[in-house]
Structure 1
């Protein structure tokens, strides 16, 4: 499941995970690499590409609010 990280104590995600930023406050979440295989998450990544392109200060920003992303992460964690 995605983990919300309040303080950016870690600059890198643990092995097998990656970092995404969500919402207007760019909340940092650490998510498992397995999310990349899910078609719903892939759609969200495509939407991020369309909205932000690839030049986004070396961050992967997803175009949704925090509560929507948390619901998606719960759904993906159960699969």
Structure 2
């Protein structure tokens, strides 16, 4: 049977100017970046959550940030690495948000 990954709590104040950017249905906002480079917000299709490569990033996020973090899901990898992975997934799945 497959392993389940607990996602961090995504409860946040939608009135906040930083987080009020609309996220289309079927998509999710994530923050990506290492501490030394800062973080950047991306909107990705929720179907990426089932991709094995993205699931590894989720496991890493769980190890680094724990189960409950405030705000959007944070991914601990470089923006460049995430952009490459996103490009690969978009090429294979033809999804966009």
Per-residue deviation at 1:15?
A: 0.5
Please state if 1:15 is matched with 2:28: no
> Closer, same or farther in 2 for the Cα pair 1:8/1:59, shift >3 Å?
closer
- Unmatched runs of 5 consecutive residues or more in structure 1: 1-6
Per-residue deviation at 1:59?
A: 2.0
User: When the two structures are superposed, what TM-score results if normalisation uses the length of structure 1?
Assistant: 0.81
Residues of 1 paired with 2:20 and 2:48: CA distance?
23
Please state if 1:53 is matched with 2:66: yes
Structure showing greater Rg? 2
Residues of 2 paired with 1:45 and 1:8: CA distance?
21
Aligned pairs for 1:37-76 within 5 A = 37-76=50-89
User: When the two structures are superposed, what TM-score results if normalisation uses the length of structure 2?
Assistant: 0.67
Where is the helix percentage greater, Structure 1 or Structure 2?
A: 1
1:77 corresponds in structure 2 to 90
Residues of 1 paired with 2:81 and 2:70: CA distance?
23
Across the two proteins, how many residue pairs are aligned to each other?
72
1:35 corresponds in structure 2 to 48
- Unmatched runs of 5 consecutive residues or more in structure 2: 1-17, 93-97
